[in-house]
A and B are shown apart, each in its own frame.
Chain A
């Protein structure tokens, strides 16, 4: 197996009684990347994640995490990964430090190891001052930070995050994004679910769009957006200059960063590699040909467009006929 592949999922499926939650999932996650599972509620993201962290046995298919089978070598997988659940899974009666001490025992760390690790993590998530208060006094953002510290306690190679910023305010969200990026810088692979397009776009190196229990498309946010045609410029020419349009088209076509040019009734649609560089070049060509322009518009497809193109509906529309995520 390619050493860069840390998770290999092959035709994984899960049914709950008569309900198929996910079906025929295949994907790989590469070392050191942030891999996102994007989809609406009930799409099967959490189910997929819970199979990978070995708390839910798959109905069909197989998957390996760091080369270990999630069913037959579940214990080895568990010792190598960290998990940050979707719910605020904190014990309201325990302090932040006690949570981490508990997990230290469960990961079989020695007391000294645990304490060193706790100091490190409390600093990372800025909870040092609140470490000895019981969790019921924590805000939503603080609980989330504690959740993340808990997920990192075993010093995992891969961290799984289920909806890491669900229900958080903007500031806490940005903070959490920072931590996640920091983890990647430290060489940790991240697998996360999200139903926020912006989060997937900003944070993920690659993502799989899941809807109705199946993967619709996989790629980097840029690839996915480019797949829809990529960036384009729409040039509108002054009405009395319309006869110059074919010449302008030829001139633009000759530019190195231009991939395709189409005529439209009032001007040109230009598909470009890099809008920043091609925009001045297009203007230059127009000036050289003495062709008066009425305006230039710049389009970049958003992840929303990608989502709609691959699922047939918007992310917020949801899919009422699919299984509820429990």
Chain B
């Protein structure tokens, strides 16, 4: 189908984009268009005005300063997956980006678009929850920075307010010696995570000193695997600790159910993927 007709603007600065967003009723921000455009073509979505961020050069960068990696909102999944900065200082995020969709989606889809859409089966949220990422939001009223778990509120729901654009994602550079991994069991047709687990482990003297976990696809919103983290820290860095803690991956979580995966199965797979992600992270930790 062909989308309903709409106005289209392609501003070349953030200030101009914010001005357009504030002054046009029914306008929506377009990033890579990998979720919004299909919905428009199915006529499930019909915004009156699209504000395309693609030409705003000041939103496209990946850079590291003072132990933080700053990623501009229009950086594509492919840019993240192949970034030397990320591969060196935060491989977990590069690995999650590399697992998104297919080549075409990764070439066009952006981190800002994906995070603002907050599909509960998207890959980034797992890594961003594990990494304790932050997001910087801008509007004509100014800017604010939120921790990721205060930004991703519920399925397809974020803390973005009218007139606000997600400008930047900030993740800490890995401390030396940390090992990480992102693994998912995916819906074979769509590639969306049935259970996706991002894990980061640090150890010292045979004991686990740092354990961080983010889980996506299992519930209505991504979440931090806080119970698993607590069960790992201070324990011996061996398989039995990992397997035991992984059993807590979906504890207290209301798992989703759809034609592909029933709730019980999803919760079980969350545990399996958690164990494997922890094993892979541990093997990479020094």
Note whether A and B form a binding pair: no
Residues of A within 8 A of B (CB): none
Residues of B within 8 A of A (CB): none
